[in-house]
Amino acid sequence: MPPGRFEALRRHRRWLFALVAVALLAEMAVAMVTTAVEQTPTTDEPVYVGAAVVYLQQHSLRYNPEHPPLGKLIIETGLVFTHARLDPAFVGSEGSVGQHLLYESGNDARRLMLLARLPMIVLTLLFGLVVFAFAGDLVGSVGGLVALALYAFSPDIIANGSLATLDVPAAGLLLTSVWLLWRARRRPLLYLPLAGVALGAAVATRMSALPAVPMLLLLVVLSVWFAGRTHDLGTRRTARLLALGVVTAVGVALVAVVVVWATYLAVDPRLRWATPDNVPVIHGLRGLVVDWLPFPQPYRDGMRIQFGFQDSTWGGFLFGRKYLGSLWYYLPAALMVKTPLGMLALWLAGAVAMMTVPRLRTAAPYVLIPTALLLVAALNDSRDFGVRYAIFVPMFLAVVAAGMVAFRWRWAPVVTAALLLFVAVSSLRTYPYYLPYSNEAFGGPSKTYLRLHDSNVDWGQDLGRLADRLRQRYPGQKIWLVYKGSGMPSYYGIDASDPLTVPPNEVHGLLAVSDSWIDKADGRLAALINSSKPIDEVGHSITIYHRTAATGPLRR
């Protein structure tokens, strides 16, 4: 290449990087919007959307107190101009209010769900810019593009970022806080208050962010130390700098507390709240911690509800095994199944770079340690429901993987590009069925239900697609349905009967079963499935059987 052309390329390098970043985010936006348009409500979404409309119209905190308001306030921004109808006299559970809003109040459920999901899609794209900027701060623009590519092609982030749920915003806000703490090493007065705001926003979105607070406050001290250190630090100067760091950490914590209070006051400025009868009494150290937290009463009551969930026994499913309780290795195993193989390799290589490349070692406490601590906290959860509980992993480790470009190894750029291509192809192949994604080593999306269940594969998202399939391929046939989710089949035009309420010999025609129910089938349902012939599948989450006799082949 002639010298003049090479210099021109260097001058336009920033624009080229920006163009690639925009292209990656555009690809992600298309994937998420398509998913949001095609999917019917997942199990949890009506709860959050119903609570958001109650916030907007009634300024009441009575629904969904086990989660703080901020995520639902974000959902609310998409619903402000919908003029959704909801009877103010309606009294029901937090699950039923969402059903009532979507299907019984004369609203367009599809339009409401899309508008509720759009703010989360926008927020997910903005977190992509945080990933790009954070990795760029660590290893330059090339590393930023590597991290952004992993983020933009992550099936789990696309799947959950296109839903009106709380997992992605909480994780993204934590990542944003950590990135601002990293930048505070150079400009503490600018970035430390912003880090406190982001931390408070994360805690005001999901209580699962609370375990990160002590670690992030330690990072405040570390950032203050880096910002103020000199070559001639003496004992007195060191003590003063550490004391300043501690005082600053307290200030950041206070900012976070103010943000939490502000989110509750944004819903109800008078903070009217009566503790519900179903809030459990929590004893011991956990009870003391809840009592001492400087948060509003509804937040603390929500924590008590969460501890009640934690003390309950739930069912799980992993690699074909049904069990009660939880398995400590569930999340690592599920992440192995649901993460593209090239992404796993880049995560590992980036972690090695963080620990071995001298210029990256100072970043390890900011990205590796919070990821590890959050994962350890998530391992103790009693609910083995899905990798969404660890959605912070692909976010943080996308930044970590950018460390690959810091290797001086000759073939590192080629290997990185090849692994990124592998990730992109694997992700694009699953389009638009991102929720049931699993990597090639585990058979791809069509086999996910054999190894995992619930929000890993079948969260009720394909009821609308089932309706389309039945209408197009099986018009006029008798439908029997065993569905797991919050959608209302009749709203989408599915006239189906419950096969578990009649004798088995009366079940003839088409039998549609959510794959999570297939995983856990026993008794009558297992007998029905085992005596039916699988003929079709919808979205890798619902199987359609044909049943004409008492015997037949086993599951697909």
Please count the residues of the chain: 556
From the number of C-beta atoms within 10 Å of its C-beta (0-12, 13-18, 19+), residue 437 rates as buried
Residue 549 has a pLDDT of 56
d(CA 197, CA 185): 17
pLDDT > 80? residue 467: yes
Residue type, 57: Q
pLDDT tens, 529-539? 999 999 999 99
CA 468 to chain centre: 28
Band of residue 92 on the pLDDT scale cut at 50, 70, 90: confident
From the number of C-beta atoms within 10 Å of its C-beta (0-12, 13-18, 19+), residue 210 rates as middle
Measure the CA dihedral 245/246/250/256, to 10°: 50
Q: How far lies 59's CA from each of 54, 237, 514, in Å?
A: 6, 51, 36
Tokens read off for 32: 């998420």
Among 13-27, 79-93, 332-346, the range of highest mean pLDDT? 332-346
**Residue 534 phi, psi (nearest 5):** -70, 130
pLDDT tens, 336-391? 999 999 999 999 999 999 999 999 999 999 999 999 999 999 999 999 999 999 99
Q: What is the 3-state secondary structure (H, E, C) of 13-80?
A: HHHHHHHHHHHHHHHHHHHHHHHHHHCCCCCCHHHHHHHHHHHHHHCCCCCCCCCCCHHHHHHHHHHC
Residue 27: closest CA among 148, 173, 160: 148
Residue 490 has a pLDDT of 94
CB neighbours of residue 214 within 10 Å:
12
Q: How far lies 537's CA from each of 83, 124, 250, 446, 520, in Å?
A: 37, 30, 54, 9, 18
d(CA 459, CA 172): 22
d(CA 30, CA 147): 19
Residue 12 has a pLDDT of 65
Residue 33: closest CA among 142, 139, 120: 120
Q: Is the dihedral of CA 208, 211, 212, 216 positive or negative?
A: positive
Residue 319 has a pLDDT of 94
From the number of C-beta atoms within 10 Å of its C-beta (0-12, 13-18, 19+), residue 293 rates as middle
Decide: helix, strand or coil at residue 543: strand
pLDDT > 80? residue 3: no
Please identify which residue in the block is written with the tokens 């950032």: 223
pLDDT > 60? residue 253: yes
Band of residue 552 on the pLDDT scale cut at 50, 70, 90: very low
Pairing status of strand 542-547 against strand 479-482: unpaired
- Using only C-alpha atoms, the chain has a radius of gyration, in whole angstroms, of 25
Q: How many helices (H) and strands (E) does the chain have?
A: 22, 7
Tokens read off for 276: 């519900």
d(CA 525, CA 530): 9
Band of residue 13 on the pLDDT scale cut at 50, 70, 90: confident
> What is the pTM for the complete model shown?
0.94
* 231 DSSP 8-state letter: T
d(CA 450, CA 307): 31
Residue 554 has a pLDDT of 39
Mean pLDDT score of the chain, rounded to an integer? 93
Helices (H), 204-234: 212-228
Q: Is residue 125 a contact partner of residue 25, using CB atoms and an 8 Å limit?
A: yes
% of the chain surpassing 70 pLDDT: 96
